[in-house]
Chains A and B, each alone.
Chain A
């Protein structure tokens, strides 16, 4: 009896998730290369596309780590073909650097606006447009109703929205599917060599709707995310092999 109940509950859970827009894993599910551990914490073990993700940061250094991480995500999200739009007010992002993260900088359209009202308007309109692979917005604060509007906008178009909040002093509840925090970590080179190594971050999932929060360490290496413990354990990474 207990077994049957468990099965029924499992089935109901799946149905609820489906109704909430989470698709079960299938052959054409998007896989973010190297982020399997993080994906496991999302419902069905799938990185939710077509929803709004929220990234928080409180200083420029964290924000730039965040931008690097987002660029890494875009690499998988765009599949190297689609266009993305990056909406911000005081843009500092330097397009040529994104090539390192595997996206062609000319795939990105930047929109610089002067007013926060316009920022949200452009974001919402862009999210409604299914021609984009992803919409990235840099905004100071995001209220619950604003996040709800953005979430409603993507429900039709299935565009993935990434909101980078640059002020984490007021963290309010939002309607986003996940809240991320990316902080830079000291880099490390093989064998204690001098010099600056690959970008290394602490990736934290502070909040996941229907999923598990968690924290990991990742490096961006050879065009994909690499969990840090793997590199520590003596795996010779590709670039070293090339050099040697």
Chain B
């Protein structure tokens, strides 16, 4: 497919930027300056200053001699890059392929995008008028090659569209400087009387290379489309991405619902064909006032089930504030996985973990409350009660060791052992009574002790001697003494309740 490129040139990038922020600068000549070695140089001048003869690259002292009334603002290094980057991000609404062209331009690959605005002319006019309404003076050109588009954007009145394969004709009347050459080459060409590109093209390339080096040849070939040129994109587009432009601004929940469904439908069709499923999806909404809102969902298992994915979004869609209206929806799938296709069971007998309904429910819970709310435990080979289980985030995990049943464990295990006061008749025997939360429990029956040593390679501290005790009401508890009995006041804790 024939590629189409657009070059955008911001004639007064920095000065336009500051004028938008400080409208009082609109009607006065001003410049940005930056110290360079031993003198202060002008880095940017606004339209009025340039008409008065002050150009970027002059010394500030010279400029002040030419235009004494000039206002001087301090510049910052690399400001233009920052500015262009944010503008480039804004431009993603026109095409996903945007590259910076420092110091004052952008390059866009607009292949296959323009029909959404009618045609190329409508596309370019829309961009220019958008920038104009914001306060930036922009010139644009569309051509088959980056070189031609760049050249024409710098040497045209407003905007210019070069029909496919017409680069040579379009370039003929432009000066050689339009070929993106370095200052030395331009000066050399100028000295030799090459006033336009046509005159350069008449010379055989072999001769040009001998005289001016390979750079000029490369630039000529790039501009004519004989050598391919690549853009360094600011953002690599996600391989799984769908965009939805809405000609009318979307302000209602119903509208958002429909938009999300449309996007999901397109993505799911593609995923189904490839046998892939969504693990993470990001919905970005671009509001007309420039605000971009993101919404991320995740699934516990790869899926291309449209209804399920929509439900996951539906739970959170209320977070999206349409404000004045949304003009663009973008759905990205940064994480996909293979979907294991299972044979459909004729009737459902056994229910297992892989049940789709359960997975979908867990996805919903994870979407609304958070994945950290869901626990499923597998045994871990540790004696220390708190570490005898581990949380398994993957629903498909199966236990490696069986659950132990030889040791009695309480149904309730308190998160932190609670201190109790006891009176014990003899060491290494269960207490006669204990007091917990102001209540006295007389121990009628007891089992134990079961000594559990601390795992010294994991943490430090005393071992525990656990007793199972039953009080006068029949309540059964799990209590332990921390450490040996040799302390003046042994520490006792209640750690759980038996059924």
Contact = CB atoms under 8 A, between A and B. Distances in A.
Indicate, yes or no, whether A interacts with B.
yes
Interface of A: 60-61, 63-65, 67-69, 71, 81-83, 85, 92-101, 104-106, 108-114, 118, 121-122, 125-126, 129-133, 183-187, 194-197, 199-201, 220
A81 to B, nearest CB: 5
B412 A196 contact: no
Given A61-B497, A83-B358, A196-B445, A125 B365 contact: yes
A125 B311 CA distance: 12
B475 A110 contact: no
Contact of A92 (B353, B369, B412): B412
B405 interface: yes
A114 B474 CA distance: 32
Interface stretch (B281-289, B320-328, B373-381): B373-381
B369 A200 contact: no
B360 interface: yes
Given A125-B361, A131-B351, A131-B355, A97 B470 contact: no
B22 interface: no
Nearest to A95: B377
Nearest to B407: A96
A92 B377 contact: no
Given A111-B375, A132-B357, 14 more contacts: A63-B412, A64-B498, A68-B411, A68-B498, A81-B351, A83-B353, A94-B409, A96-B404, A97-B411, A105-B403, A184-B475, A184-B476, A187-B476, A195-B445
Interface residues of B, number: 55
A112 B370 CA distance: 10
A75 to B, nearest CB: 13
B404 A94 contact: no
A199 B413 CA distance: 17
B38 interface: no
Contacts of B444: 186
A99 B389 CA distance: 13
Contact of A109 (B376, B404, B497): B376
B408 interface: yes
B56 interface: no
Contact of A97 (B353, B410, B474): B410
B269 interface: no
B185 interface: no
Nearest to B350: A81
A85 B351 CA distance: 13
A126 B361 CA distance: 7
Given A104-B403, A112-B373, A199 B498 contact: yes
Contacts of A132: 351, 357-358
Contact of A106 (B357, B399, B409, B412): B399
A194 B445 contact: yes
B446 interface: yes
B411 A71 contact: yes
B385 interface: yes
B414 interface: yes
Interface string B216-232: 00000000000000000
Nearest to B364: A125
Nearest to B362: A109
Contacts of A112: 373, 375
A131 B358 CA distance: 6
Contacts of A122: 365, 369
Interface centre among B388, B404, B412, B415 (most CB of A within 10 A): B412
B367 to A, nearest CB: 11
B473 interface: yes
A187 B445 contact: yes
11 contacts: A60-B497, A61-B476, A64-B410, A69-B499, A82-B351, A94-B389, A96-B403, A111-B374, A129-B360, A133-B351, A195-B447
B358 A96 contact: no
A163 B147 CA distance: 72
Contact of B409 (A97, A185, A200): A97
Closest 10 CB pairs of A and B: A68-B499, A131-B355, A94-B413, A186-B474, A131-B357, A64-B497, A61-B475, A110-B375, A97-B409, A131-B358
B499 A83 contact: no
